[in-house]
Each structure stands twice: as C-alpha cells, then as structure tokens.
Structure 1
Amino acid sequence: MFERYKLIAAQRPEDHIDFDREVMENMKLVDASLDGAVSYEMTIAPNFSNLNNVMHGGAAGVIFDMSTTTALCSLARPGFWEFMGGVTRTLNISYLRAVPIGTKVRLNSKVVGVGKQMAMIRGDMMSLDGKTTYCTVEHHKVNVPILPEHAKARVPWDDEFEERWRQTETGVKSKM
C-alpha cells in the first residue's frame, strides 16, 4: 500500500500537500500478519501539535485513519478491499493521555470484522514499553471500488498478487 500511495502522491503538483502524507512517510512497520493485524512505530512530530505542545486530537484522527486502514491490506484481493480499503464511515477515538511532542509511539491495529461492504478495525496508540495507552480507536469503513487512476499506479508485485487470487478462485495450484 505504501508504494502505491507514493506513486499516486508523486503524480500530484509539487505544491499539493496531502493531509495524510506526513503520517504515511513517518509510520515505520514493526509487525504485520495475514489475519489483519499490523503494528507501527511513529514519532509524534511538531506539526501534529496543539498550543499545549501535545498531539492535537485531529492529528490522532488522521494517524489512526491511515494506520488502521493498512490492517485491511492483508485481507485484500482484486475486487475486495483494494487499495486504501474504502472510506471511513465512523472513527471513534477515546483520548486517555496527552501525547507529548517528540514521543515515539506504537500503533497497533486489528481487523475485528470484514464483509463485502463493511469492515471494523480496532486500534490503540501506546508507549513503546506498552505501559501507557494514549488513545484507542474503533474504525468503521465502507468498501468502495478503487479509483481508476489509482489502479493505474502499478507496483512490482501486482501481477503476482492478481495471479495468486485468480488461481485461488479457479482452484489452480500456484507454481510460485
């Protein structure tokens, strides 16, 4: 997903600033599984701050939107929760502790349920030692078709991905 995101973002005018670009460029993958779980580390940069020099609540929204959406990637297949995993229906955040600017956090996300049109992902933002939970999220998504211009941004493994799913659906064994 990150590689496709970068290809699409590179096609935009130089002065275009995506609201989510800072998040996508700074989340570092720590762990991922094939069952819809993913963990990242990210430093809360000054541009995510409020006047109290802690993370702004709106910044948590975009951080969670992107980090939880990526949990759907391992469940995606052609025609099912493709690139960027649909659109947000609701994003419910519980703020438990302020996150000081400069803090490195762990973002954990897990798909709780996924169907043809709806998905629900839970996540949390914690200290690296796991002792402090800064905030939690429940993210409901609605599946939408991939935009045609996004589908044109091909990454090296797209052909293999599509072939494996074709073989799975037709019962043909993969030789890869």
Structure 2
Amino acid sequence: MPSPEEDRQKAIRSVQAMFERYKLLADRRPKDHIVLQDFDREVMNNLKIVDAGLDGSVQFELYMSPNFSNLNDVMHGGAAGVIFDMATTTALCPVARPNFWEFMGGVTRSLNISYLRAVPIGATVLLKSKVVSVGKQMAMIRGTMESLDEKVTYCTVEHHKVNAPVREEHKKVRVAWDEEFERTWGVGGGGKSKI
C-alpha cells in the first residue's frame, strides 16, 4: 500500500503532466492565436505546484506580474478567469481515469468568481482548488486565491465542467506520465483496462 507521501507525489506528477502536455500542444498552435495563447501560456508557465492530493486537490503559488494588471494597478478580473480556469481544471488530474476527465478536464460550463479584495500587482498568491463533485459527465471544483500567509482571501471560484473526449491529436502528444497512467489503469501498450 502506498504511503501518504507516495500518493502526494503521484498526484503532483499527474498535475505536472497536464502542464507538460499543454506546453507541447501550445507550441503547435497557429501563429494567429498569439494574443490569447500568450496570456494562457503565461499562467501555465508561472503557476508553481505547491501540493496535490489524489482526492482532487491542488495548490499553486503565482506571482502577479504586471501583465495581469488593470489600469488601477491591481489584478484584472479577466486575468482571474484564466488563472482560475487553469488552477481548478488541474484538480481533476489526480482523479482522472481512461475516458474519465483526462487531459484538460473537459470544457467549462460556468466559472463563477466572487471578487472580495483587490489583488496587488507584485504579490505572490496561493491558489487552492478542490474537486467537490465529479461524475461521468459533470464536475464542480471550488477554489480560492489567497495571500501566502492565508490571512486574506482575494477571490473565490466555483467552476462547473462538462466532460469531453480528448482530441485525437492531443492523444498523440505523449509525456512521461502517460506510461504510469497506463500501468495504473492497465490500458495502452496492449494492456487490458482495469475499469
């Protein structure tokens, strides 16, 4: 039986795999997608994994660079949408199984953000995400953006997702995690599915 630390490391590897695959796929995007791609990529390049659990939880630190600011020199509300979209979606990685919330965790149905306090540019924030409910077709993840000392909650999110099959071209982009995932579930490479 795996130890709690082995489970933690496995959950972290599952989350890290999404970042690795995302970066490989982002490099293939058409050049005319550059504006949104760069904002999306900035979030994915700067989220630092702090912790994860096989229960569908993940924590990140993120430096609020000037690229996230509005004219008031605080985090733009739209930036929070992209940040939370990525940070909460990754909480589905540790609960993924074959054909069940695999890479990119489906599509967003709704992303409800409550802004409580302005996030200062130059601050590093703590993002916490936790899968509250996950079924065959729908999932709901809650998240918070807090000060590093956890004394200030800047904003919260409730993210509802709909499961969607992984695109065929995305399946072809492999990362190291794929072998561990396939061994765990007995799929790929001729293995028989355990589900």
Structure-1-length-normalised TM-score: 0.92
Query: Would you say 1:80 and 2:100 are equivalent positions?
Result: yes
Aligned pair partner of 1:67 in 87, 107, 126: 87
Contact 1:72 1:81 in 2 (8 A): yes
What is the count of residue pairs matched by the alignment? 171
Query: Would you say 1:104 and 2:121 are equivalent positions?
Result: no
2:160 aligned partner, one-letter code: H
Distance 1:69 1:58 in 2: 17
Moved over 3 A (4+): 13-16, 167-171
Alpha-carbon shift at residue 160 of structure 1 (Å): 2.6
Aligned pair partner of 1:5 in 8, 22, 33: 22
Distance 2:67 2:73 in 1: 10
Per-residue Cα deviation, 1:87-122 (whole angstroms, up to 9, x for no partner) = 100000000000011110000000000000000000
Alpha-carbon shift at residue 16 of structure 1 (Å): 4.0
Per-residue Cα deviation, 1:65-102 (whole angstroms, up to 9, x for no partner) = 00000000000111110100001000000000000111
More displaced 10-residue stretch of structure 1: 107-116 or 155-164? 155-164
Contact 1:68 1:123 in 2 (8 A): yes
More displaced 10-residue stretch of structure 1: 127-136 or 154-163? 154-163
SS at match of 2:175: coil
1:17-28 to structure 2, matched below 5 A, reads 17=34, 18=37, 19-28=39-48
Alpha-carbon shift at residue 15 of structure 1 (Å): 6.3
Aligned pair partner of 1:54 in 30, 53, 74: 74
Corresponding residue for 1:131? 151
The answer for unaligned runs of 5 or more in structure 1 is 172-176
Query: Would you say 1:36 and 2:53 are equivalent positions?
Result: no
SS at match of 2:186: helix
Distance 1:128 1:108 in 2: 11
Q: What RMSD, in angstroms, separates the aligned Cα atoms of the two structures?
A: 1.6
Contact 1:44 1:102 in 2 (8 A): yes
Identity of aligned pairs, percent? 73
Corresponding residue for 1:93? 113
Cα distance change, pair 15–102 in 1 and its aligned pair in 2 (3 A): farther
Alpha-carbon shift at residue 12 of structure 1 (Å): 2.6
Per-residue Cα deviation, 1:20-70 (whole angstroms, up to 9, x for no partner) = 111000000000001000000001111111110000101000000000000
SS at match of 1:20: helix
Alpha-carbon shift at residue 170 of structure 1 (Å): 3.8
2:98 aligned partner, one-letter code: P
Distance 2:49 2:91 in 1: 11
Greater share of helix: 2
Alpha-carbon shift at residue 14 of structure 1 (Å): 5.5
